[in-house]
Amino acid sequence: MLNLLGDQSYLNSYQLDIYDTSFDKLMQKRIYKVLLICSSYDAFLLEEDGRIDEQIFNEYVSLNLRYPPVFIQARNAREVLKILQEEHIDLIISMLNVGEIDTFKLAKMLKVRHPSIPIVVLTPFSREVSLRLQNEDLSAIDYVFCWLGNADLLVAIIKLIEDRMNADHDILEIGVQSIILVEDSIRYYSSFLPNIYKIIFRQARQFMTEALNEHHRMLRMRGRPKILLATTYDEAIELYNRYKSNVLGVISDISYKVNNRRDHLTKAGLQLCRQIKSEDPNIPFLLQSSDISNKVYADELGVGFLHKYSKSFSYELKKYILDNFGFGDFVFRDPDTNAEIARASDLSQLQKLIQNIPDRSLVYHSSRNDISKWLNARAIFSIAQLFKPMRLKDFKSIDDARKFIYYAISAYRLSKGRSIIAKFDRDTFDEYKFFSRIGDGSIGGKARGLAFVNQIIRKYNLFSKFDDTIITIPRTVVLSTDIFDEFMESNDLYSIALQEVDDEVILDAFLEAKLPDRVKIDLKKVISVFQRPLAVRSSSKLEDSHYQPFAGIYSTYMVPHSDDPEFMLVLLAKAIKSVYASVFYKASKAYMNATQNVIDEEKMGVIIQEICGNQYGNMYLPTLSGVARSINFYPIGSEKTEDGIANIGFGLGKLIVDGGVSLRFSPKYPKKILQLSSVEMALRQTQKNFYALNVDPNSFEPKVDDSMNLFNLDIKEAESIPDFKLIASTYDMHSGILRDGYFDEGLKLVTFASILKHNTFPLAKIITELLEIGQREMNNHIEIEFAANLAPTDGMPKLFNFLQIRPIVDSDQSELVEWEHIDINKSILYSKSALGHGKVEGVYDFVYVKPDTFNPAHTKLIAQELDEVNKRFIDMARNYVLVGPGRWGSSDPWLGVPIKWSQISEARVIVEAGLENFRVDPSQGTHFFQNLTSFRVAYLTVNPYLKDGIYDIDFLNSLPAFYESEHLRWVRFDKPLTIQVDAKSNQGIILKPEWLK
């Protein structure tokens, strides 16, 4: 991976944008319906030889083409007009003799009515026909062809017209190549046009191998060279002048019309050759003639020659095209002897050979634009167009040019590999394939999310958008769900998997089972390319679904790297089988039942990824890991709900997934972090531990607990890790000052100050952009996972790994209060300043500090009493609403109740209620904000005496007390309270019982 990042960094210095062609935008105009005008006799012959539709279909299949057209036959003018009125016809083909119809008169009439429909005439070849055509007005006819009943000619006609229809867009805007064919003999172009197309289609099948999956192989066929037919010098020179930047070569007769006059002495083909060669000396030019004496002119001009009467004409034509138009293998030659030095059959081989071929060979091929020509013929237009104007004098040395070519090819392959789910092929799999699939089934929800991330990175050019930073997914291979099915069935695992047995029993059975042999062979290839520790993750069909929140249900195993490929294969196979086993653990089965899914219908894909990070001693870890959301349910200060929120930590992301203490910040306000707002809070609320992978391969022995080979270390252990110095701040105990940066003396705290305050890495900007793009693309609020390596080796750019994207499942959203339909005056409590989101269920109890007896001098006593009440809730396993004046958790007892989180831990809703004689600025829960967000506790603020919200204390006092003291009153309801918080409007409400439905 690091070498590839270096390749991209090198290309960035040239400010080059290497991309793959959007092949789906090519060949947008097609022939779908053909009107065939023929006599009853011709129709009979066609049926006798086999249905024309069937012949065309078979011809398309043999050439690996798609979209064969439908043929509709008409026998007279009346049928023709009727069909044209009822059907959308793309092409009209008419036999020369169709009974009482005069073909040319009919063509004129049709051209007037339908000027955009091409008209082609098919005729048998004879002297009489030739004389007749010379005397006919052919202005309404697009082409005349010699018809011998061969279906391949019909394919050539269709493709010739499609090429003409798409030429301007595909050639001028995309860079598709063209071959200009100049021939006025109907007999000859009818004969060799099908041959040329067959040569091109076979070449296209070769460059299809550059594609990474079946869909893209078919799309790449659209990038084949187009054939442009001219019958006169004027047409030929017009085609060349229009498309000269994208002409692979010219095939030309020697004698044809110039200025609508035929003059054998003029030899128009020679004139055309001289004109084109004067502009582009390197363009391949093949002259052909029925007069072999014309070969001398070809020799004088240094171009190819074919004798039309040669018995080996077809073979010689094919050989010239393959050798000179960039088709076939690229052959590096010695310029002095013309001997072959090396041969490349694909882009990967060409890239490898570029590093070692002799200077004189590189100079020779570069001066002739051979590399550019070969790339163009293979529809690799972006780097072909990059190389074409390149001259060796533009570089400091030949080695510099060699390096440029190598890195440009590397960047192209990297770009192509980033945007596609490649079909895994063990023969071609290498470090340029970023996302590959083994198998033909579904890749599962999590892998689909990862593939979507890959697409987003490509679509918005995020890969190298930020200086000295690469944004990418980890290199990934996915085992699709059909491999899971085969594994389960071939090992008869359902018999134990569906039983109610201990998880360890299931895991042991799965570890004893065998993966399919072909999968293990593929995994050997994966191991040879992946040279880092691997994360083996679940990707079931239900995970990361919009409506089924399965994320985190199944296991993820981290496999240390072993230099022994056989032992590494054993470790990887164990990890895969362990992920499969986790589908049938008790917790998974219980969750499936709770979500009304059937366990034996669940299908598991497996994601294999390189882990972002560096090795330090026996530990492997990234500089940081994190999770970000596009919606913030607990905005404070100037933050807004829609600004989003992020949590980051040092080391592996298990810290955040498990709800450990991490750094929480708004990407829009990265310098305003509540946890760092005071030294006291920073000491108390910053990261205390971190996770790292044990790199000893022998430490990997799968357990039900998938973290069995992870270190959970005190943050002090991180001080010896170089990465830690990039994210730490230092607390000076003598001065009581927290200093940004790492200093030898003092306590080290995880603040990420160098990143968030001093912008040494554009983390906040990256997260903000990814959240905005992801939310827009998914049309839903999202959550993303990421990791970053800020200390790469060998001067490589910093790495941001975009690990996952998923929609935020808001299961309560459909039940949220529609505020315009609610009479808030009939609520117990209503707040216009609420933190949190969703419906709080199962709460029957309401505990509040009695306003009429409240005395700020007694707040410590109130705290002690609440501690006792909270313990009763712990014993009863119940939750409650807590309301009181001032700031909950304030260290100053005169500003509120100096409570600790452990003393109110069972409260699901906490309310700060201002009193008429006790008004304090609200705290928004800042004193235990980490707990609020971790446990999704709603935090409301009301000041009814300032007309800010509602708090109906009279209603509560009218109800019987479950418990009451001098300071507290506890009310229990018969039914659960309806409590809802809407983060989008920052409103929260607790409804009175009569509103319950």
pLDDT band at 418 (very low <50, low <70, confident <90, very high): confident
Residue 810: predicted pLDDT: 57
Of the listed ranges 142-156, 223-237, 778-792, 875-889, the one predicted with least confidence: 142-156
Q: What is the pLDDT of residues 194-206, one digit of tens each?
A: 999 999 988 887 7
**565 close to 528: Cβ distance less than 8 angstroms:** yes
Please name the residue that has the structure tokens 């014993």.
875
CB atoms within 10 A of CB 785: 20
Query: In angstroms, how far is CA 11 from the centroid of its own chain?
Result: 22
Looking only at the bridges linking them, the beta strands covering 143-146 and 178-182 are: unpaired
Given a cut of 50, is residue 107 above it in pLDDT? yes
- Token reading at 65: 């083409």
d(CA 304, CA 50): 40
pLDDT band at 423 (very low <50, low <70, confident <90, very high): confident
Contacts of 84 (CB under 8 A, 6+ apart): 35, 110, 113, 114
Task: Write the DSSP symbol of residue 943.
Answer: B
d(CA 145, CA 214): 35
pLDDT band at 42 (very low <50, low <70, confident <90, very high): confident
The mean per-residue pLDDT over the stretch 230-254 comes to 96
Contacts by 99-104, CB closer than 8 A, 24 or more apart: 99/39, 99/40, 99/75, 100/76, 101/37, 101/76, 101/77, 103/37, 104/136, 104/137, 104/138, 104/140, 104/141
Given a cut of 80, is residue 58 above it in pLDDT? no
pLDDT band at 212 (very low <50, low <70, confident <90, very high): low
Residue 957: predicted pLDDT: 95
Q: Give exposure, 238-270, as e/b (b: 16+ Cβ within 10 Å).
A: ebbebbeebbbbbbbbbbbbbeeeeeeebbbbb
d(CA 131, CA 135): 7
- Token reading at 547: 């409506």
Looking only at the bridges linking them, the beta strands covering 556-559 and 469-472 are: unpaired
- Token reading at 537: 């993750």
pLDDT band at 87 (very low <50, low <70, confident <90, very high): very high
| Mean of all residue pLDDT scores within the chain | 88
d(CA 134, CA 995): 94
d(CA 188, CA 644): 69
d(CA 344, CA 420): 24
CB atoms within 10 A of CB 148: 12
Looking only at the bridges linking them, the beta strands covering 880-884 and 907-913 are: parallel
d(CA 813, CA 781): 12
Position 259, amino acid: N
Residue 17: predicted pLDDT: 60
Percent of the chain residues past pLDDT 70, beyond the cut: 89
Helix (H, G, I), strand (E, B) or coil at 772: helix
Which H or E element spans position 608?
strand 604-610
CB atoms within 10 A of CB 953: 18
Given a cut of 60, is residue 2 above it in pLDDT? no
CATH topology identical between 27-164 and 176-327: yes
Which regions of 111-254 does DSSP assign to beta strands (E)? Answer: 119-123, 143-146, 178-182, 226-230, 247-253
d(CA 694, CA 709): 6
Concatenate the DSSP letters of all residues of 239-250 into one string. Answer: HHHHHGGGEEEE
Contacts by 899-904, CB closer than 8 A, 24 or more apart: 899/863, 899/866, 900/863, 900/928, 901/928, 901/931, 902/867, 902/870, 903/863, 903/866, 903/867, 903/870, 904/866, 904/870
Residue 459: predicted pLDDT: 87
Helix (H, G, I), strand (E, B) or coil at 972: strand
Q: Identify which has the larger pLDDT, 49 or 461.
A: 461
Q: What is the pLDDT of residues 651-686, one digit of tens each?
A: 999 998 887 889 999 999 999 998 999 999 899 889
Q: What is the pLDDT of residues 269-285, one digit of tens each?
A: 999 999 999 999 999 99
- Token reading at 801: 């790994």
The mean per-residue pLDDT over the stretch 865-890 comes to 93
Of the listed ranges 151-165, 738-752, 843-857, 919-933, the one predicted with least confidence: 919-933
Report CA dihedral (326, 331, 332, 335) to the nearest 10 degrees: -80
Query: What are the residue boundaries of the structural domains of the chain, listed by start?
Result: 2-20+329-417, 27-164, 176-327, 435-604, 619-807, 813-995
Q: Helix 313-324 and helix 186-207: axis angle, to 10°? A: 40
Of the listed ranges 66-70, 415-419, 783-787, 870-874, the one predicted with least confidence: 415-419
Residue 996: predicted pLDDT: 45
Given a cut of 60, is residue 595 above it in pLDDT? no
Q: Percentages helix, strand, coil for the chain, rounded to the nearest 5?
A: 40, 20, 35
Residue 812: predicted pLDDT: 47
Given a cut of 60, is residue 409 above it in pLDDT? yes
Closest CA to 21 of 216, 281, 277, 287: 216
Residue 637: predicted pLDDT: 82
Give the CA count within 13 Å in the CB-facing half-sphere of 126: 6
Given a cut of 60, is residue 9 above it in pLDDT? no
d(CA 61, CA 149): 19
- Token reading at 246: 């994208």
The mean per-residue pLDDT over the stretch 752-756 comes to 97
Residue 26: predicted pLDDT: 87
Of the segments 90-104, 254-268, 360-374, 761-775, which one has the largest average pLDDT value?
761-775
**Number of helices followed by number of strands (H, E) in the chain:** 32, 47
Q: What is the pLDDT of residues 685-735, one digit of tens each?
A: 899 999 999 999 999 999 999 999 999 999 999 999 999 999 999 999 999
> Which of the following CATH numbers is that of domain 176-327: 3.40.50.2300, 3.40.50.300, 3.40.605.10, 1.10.10.10?
3.40.50.2300
Residue 894: predicted pLDDT: 79
Given a cut of 60, is residue 909 above it in pLDDT? yes
Query: In angstroms, how far is CA 136 from the centroid of its own chain?
Result: 58
Residue 40: predicted pLDDT: 75
Residue 997: predicted pLDDT: 42
Percent of the chain residues past pLDDT 90, beyond the cut: 59
Of the listed ranges 7-21, 71-85, 161-175, 621-635, the one predicted with least confidence: 7-21
User: φ and ψ at 509, to 5 degrees?
Assistant: -65, -40
Given a cut of 50, is residue 1 above it in pLDDT? no
The mean per-residue pLDDT over the stretch 140-159 comes to 88
What's 27-164's CATH class? alpha beta
Predicted structure pTM score: 0.77
Of the listed ranges 24-33, 156-165, 818-827, the one predicted with least confidence: 818-827
d(CA 705, CA 712): 14
Given a cut of 60, is residue 804 above it in pLDDT? yes
Given a cut of 80, is residue 264 above it in pLDDT? no
